[in-house]
Chains A and B, each alone.
Chain A
Amino acid sequence: MNTRLTFGIAKSLLLARWRQTLVAAVGVTFSIAMFITLLGFMNGLNDMLDGLILNRTPHVRLYNEIKPSENQPVNVASEFKDSYNFISSVKSGISRQEVYNSEPIIQAVRNDERVLGVAPKLNTQVFFNEGTIDISGTISGIDVEEEMRLFNFQDYVTAGTAIDVKHVANSIILGKGLADILVADIGDVVQVTTPEGERFSLKVVGYFQSGIQDIDKVQSYASINTTQKLLGKPANYITDIQVKLHDLDIAPAVAAEYREKFEVDAEDIQTANAQFETGSTVRSLISFSVGIVLLIVSGFGIFNILNMMIYEKMDSIAILKATGFSGRDVNLIFLLIALSIGFFGGSVGLIFGFVFSVVIDNIPFKTAALPTIETYPVNYDPFFYFIGSSFSLITTYFAGFFPARKASKVDPVEIIRGK
């Protein structure tokens, strides 16, 4: 009963000065809409930039690093156990880049329920021979279907079809930059020399464009079988096992576990791409700060309007208190006024923010470096809407807090005697 009465009085006071109320609410609407739009756009860009690298990066990569043995023979020998052994000029041994026992490892990883998918990979250095010039590059032998499923391989193949590289024997997809250097069109044949000195002819079936020029100048893709043939290796020879997890955040733990379990090197995505994390965090931080500053400014607007309203409504406050409304009731009435401005202004702001986001999402944005992007990227994370609405309520609460307290402290005797 009393709550309804309080709401009723707050509503009447709000509507009695609907123009002022509207101005205050528009302030909140504007700042919330900008907050949502800004964050959505900023994070859309973040996601896109991260996606450039992260979507194509395995969450955990299993491989064998070329490095010197940690246990040099002299340290293992029992007769020198109690001595200090100084070894100089340690060199990496003849270790193979191959992942040993790759078949069982792939099987085991695939059966792990945290894992979304596994794609084996075989990297090798080659020279592309263009007349008398040798251009160094790398060929990644990939399981095309898994690569398409897990790492959106098709998205980056800008000419030709990705799957052709599997179906056409001795075929290759060249990086766009590399293809330009080699002046190789689709259907042409390019000559490559392997590290072992073998020469091969490979047919170009497509171009690949990652969005990062330096990669496109050296990188090319072939099927795993073709690459194995190139190197003269058996069908179980692979150098990398790429693992994609359901949850990216557990990658470091999973990497550590696999390192232990399979006795291979394992690198997680966070370690490999720490700088992208930092960039995203800083950009989010900036957009959050701008959004919150906007909200605080609109909070001051509400503060001013409520203050004015209290001076105007001194008489009403006095008579409410004289007829039995306590300071707490009056306080509640003005807080309710502030909060409803925040609530309604904020709700409309959320809608506008969404509309602006959709508009931005439909503005064409084409750039050669980003073949998969058609329009400006926008992130519609509900979290932003949640933050936006809670912040609109929090700021309006604080904007209403002091005026409401002032109103609750109005001494009716002073007002009534003053007449």
Chain B
Amino acid sequence: MHNVVLEARHINKEFHDPVTVQVLSDITFSVRGGEFVSVIGKSGCGKSTLLYILSTMDTDYDGELLIDNERMTGRTDLELARIRNEKIGFVFQFHYLLNEFTVLRNVMLPGMKLGKYSEQEVEHRAMERLKMLGIGHLADKMAYRISGGEKQRVAIARALINDPLILMGDEPTGNLDSHNSELVFEIFKELTDVHNHTLLIVTHDQSFAERSGRIIEMEDGRIIRH
């Protein structure tokens, strides 16, 4: 029904320090537009490592990665930065907001970097996203003055500012209490159902994964179910 937005072909990765360990072996799968995919597995099974390879931040692997049907493997740092900026949104376990800026500026940063819209437009779009996530009233507060749950929602707004092709999350609810976790899950659900966003979320929260659209389960560096 939808195009393939992300495709991994035979991805292998080894850690060499202190001894050579095969962390990922022959990972092959694809994600289609509009899917809500969660990657689960035990601690140390390589799911986070996989996510960082898929996010183009880790370039030290064998195999092929395609985003939007374009080959990512072997590109320069500058090109990959541009692609991350434009096509990938990130939500991490920790919020990583810049304390020197207001909530609004934090959300605007990747948009300003992209340079596709004028500053007023970026500001307007940032405001839209903050309102959509129910935190419009926090826009002018400094980033370190808001609560943990709010910070994570700001981080989601920041990830969405450039209308990314795919939103990636590394344990986005890992640091939140059950109430806030539920809130974040609802937001993700709404993003796929209503706004047709594509999500790839690494989690070890079984109940979170079960309610998502599709589960990829990993064990010892291999995909055992998808």
Residues of chain A whose beta carbon lies under 8 Å from any beta carbon of chain B: 1-2, 5, 9, 12-13, 15-16, 315-316, 318-329, 411-413, 416-417, 419
Contacts and interface: CB of A to CB of B under 8 A. Distances in A.
B110 A416 contact: no
B115 A324 contact: no
Interface string B118-158: 01000000000000000000000000000000000000001
Contact of A417 (B48, B97, B99): B48
Contacts of B113: 2, 5, 323-325, 329
A16 B100 contact: yes
A131 to B, nearest CB: 90
Interface of B: 48, 52, 55, 57-58, 77-78, 81-86, 90, 92-94, 96-101, 109-110, 112-115, 119, 158, 170
Contacts of B83: 324
Given A413-B52, A417-B52, A323 B57 contact: no
B84 to A, nearest CB: 5
A12 B105 CA distance: 11
5 contacts: A5-B115, A323-B85, A324-B82, A326-B81, A326-B82
A1 B81 contact: no
Contacts of A12: 98, 100-101
A92 B52 CA distance: 97
Given A5-B115, A413-B57, 11 more contacts: A5-B109, A12-B98, A316-B100, A321-B81, A322-B55, A324-B83, A324-B114, A326-B78, A327-B81, A413-B52, A416-B94
A411 B96 CA distance: 15
Contacts of B109: 5, 9, 320, 323
A15 B48 CA distance: 35
Contacts of B58: 413
Contacts of A416: 52, 92, 94, 96, 170
Contact of A322 (B77, B90, B97): B90
Nearest to A326: B81
Task: List 3 tightest A-B contacts by C-beta distance, closest first.
Answer: A324-B85, A326-B81, A319-B96
A301 to B, nearest CB: 22
Which of A12, A323, A328, A417 has most chain B Cβ within 10 Å? Answer: A323
A68 to B, nearest CB: 81
B57 A322 contact: yes
Contacts of B55: 322
Contact of A16 (B85, B94, B99): B99
Contacts of B114: 324
Contact of B115 (A2, A328, A413): A2
A323 B98 contact: no
Given A5-B112, A416-B92, A417-B48, A316 B85 contact: no
Contacts of A328: 78
Contacts of B101: 12
Contacts of A412: 57
B52 A315 contact: no
B142 to A, nearest CB: 10
A327 B110 contact: no
A75 B90 CA distance: 100
A322 B90 CA distance: 8
B31 to A, nearest CB: 19
Contacts of B86: 324
A319 B101 CA distance: 13
A320 B81 CA distance: 10
A419 B90 contact: no
Given A12-B101, A316-B98, A318-B96, A325 B57 contact: no
Given A1-B112, A316-B98, A416-B92, A323 B52 contact: no
A367 B119 CA distance: 67
A328 B76 CA distance: 12
A15 B96 CA distance: 19
A182 B96 CA distance: 91
Nearest to B93: A419
B110 A324 contact: yes
Nearest to A318: B96
B75 to A, nearest CB: 12
Contacts of A318: 96
Contacts of B115: 1-2, 5
A323 B94 contact: no
A77 B210 CA distance: 125
A315 B96 contact: yes
A277 to B, nearest CB: 54
Contacts of B81: 321, 324-327, 329
Contacts of A411: 57
B94 A419 contact: yes
